[in-house]
Amino acid sequence: MATPKNINLKVPLPRKLKWGVAGCGYFLENVFLPSLQLVKRSRLISVYSHDPKRAHEIASKFGAPNFYDDYQAFLNSGIDAVYISSKNNDHYYQVIEAAKAGKHVFCERPIALNSAQAEEMVRICKENNVQFAINHIHRFHPLIIKVKELIDKNILGKLVAISASYHIDMPPADNFRFKKELSGGGVLRDTGAIVIDLMRYFGGEVSEVKGFMDNVIYKSEVDDFAAAIIKFINGGYGLFNVSYDTKKPFIRLDIIGFNGSINIESKIDKRNFITKITIDLKGEAKMVFRKKFNKIAFVIRSVQKSFLQNKIPVVSGEDGLNNIRLIEKIEG
């Protein structure tokens, strides 16, 4: 019988990231948690909701051993990180309490109800040496990343304009986004935050922004339509419009440079971001690329890596703060 040998590993075996989730809405149940199950080094440990029955339901469905309606007990349940999928008005205290408890934070957009809250959230995360990531999923698609690389390589030449349209249907019903005390505002703070983040990603930081908000269809207390024009510090302009007003979703972004253009079109299903890009450069044949991609699983893997290594995530709390500042300028 062979003598057992001790194996000395040069690199320690990777540990699993133990997650807690706060807020038990549609996106968490149907998109985030099914995707989390695909990520090998992450494990769901605890579920928190104001409604204990809902917390128990989600915990049972996804195999979490713990569920709570007490947030402090939830934070003390042996988790490493918190995914915050609650209503916008809960983000502020949930992020701060998680940071003070030493938990890394992955938060839904928008980061907070206002920039003053967001500044404090970012500061407290830094003071407690925890990472703060924001769920801007569109930045993680491989074709979106490729477009960014092409822009950085100056393939388009001098940037002239970026235009974007992001239109979906979102009826009020019992949706918290249509209650200002819970959301802070309507479509501008929701899909508008997505577009603003992509504008900054492709065009750089912003020196000026002017915009409009309106109620075109639903006539609620918050906006269901918004449009704005942006001036980039490095030159060029951005124009966008977003709404909750179209039964058939429409997502399109055009990046225009001196040497040509890149068009991005997307379709949405529950877990995938189906994207087509068209590259049309002077003197070259038009090129078209398509890719269907599980955006959420890729985002979770990226955030997981930054948390395990305690490194700044791809989309950080500072990004969320800059986005909410621009939103406030548009709101006036």
Cα 314 to chain centroid, rounded: 10
Token couple for 145: 């990343």
Q: Tell me, what amino acid is at 52?
A: P
| pTM as predicted | 0.91
Token couple for 6: 């001790």
How many residues does this entry show for the chain? 332
Residue 268: the pLDDT is 61
CB atoms within 10 A of CB 234: 10
Inform me whether the pLDDT recorded for 246 exceeds 70: yes
Q: What is the mean pLDDT of residues 67-79?
A: 98
Inform me whether the pLDDT recorded for 6 exceeds 70: no
Q: Mind listing the pLDDT tens digit for each residue in 217-243?
A: 999 999 999 999 999 999 999 999 999
Token couple for 107: 């938060």
Q: Tell me, what amino acid is at 196?
A: I
Q: Mind listing the pLDDT tens digit for each residue in 178-201?
A: 999 999 999 999 999 999 999 999
The answer for residues whose C-beta is within 8 angstroms of residue 313's C-beta and 6 or more apart is 131, 132, 133, 302, 303, 306, 307
Inform me whether the pLDDT recorded for 2 exceeds 50: no
Inform me whether the pLDDT recorded for 11 exceeds 50: no
Inform me whether the pLDDT recorded for 117 exceeds 70: yes
Inform me whether the pLDDT recorded for 1 exceeds 90: no
Inform me whether the pLDDT recorded for 5 exceeds 80: no
Q: What's 241's DSSP letter?
A: E
If pLDDT is split at 50, 70 and 90, which confidence band does 141 have?
confident
Residue 296: the pLDDT is 87
Token couple for 230: 């942006």
Cβ atoms of residues 122 and 132 within 8 Å: yes
User: Residues of 121-154 as b/e, b for ≥16 C-beta within 10 angstroms?
Assistant: bbebbeebebbbbbbbbbbbbebbeebeebbeee
Inform me whether the pLDDT recorded for 204 exceeds 80: yes
If pLDDT is split at 50, 70 and 90, which confidence band does 174 have?
confident
Residue 137: the pLDDT is 85
Short-list 121, 154, 139, CA closest to 318: 121
Q: What is the mean pLDDT of residues 124-133?
A: 98
Classify 205 as helix, strand or coil.
coil
Q: What is the mean pLDDT of residues 252-265?
A: 97
Inform me whether the pLDDT recorded for 9 exceeds 90: no
Residue 292: the pLDDT is 80
Short-list 139, 217, 228, 247, CA closest to 189: 228
Q: What is the mean pLDDT of residues 76-95?
A: 97
Residue 138: the pLDDT is 87
| Packed helices 115-127 and 88-100: angle between N→C axes, nearest 10 degrees | 20
Residue 113: the pLDDT is 97
Residue 4: the pLDDT is 42
The answer for residues whose C-beta is within 8 angstroms of residue 217's C-beta and 6 or more apart is 224, 225, 243, 244, 245
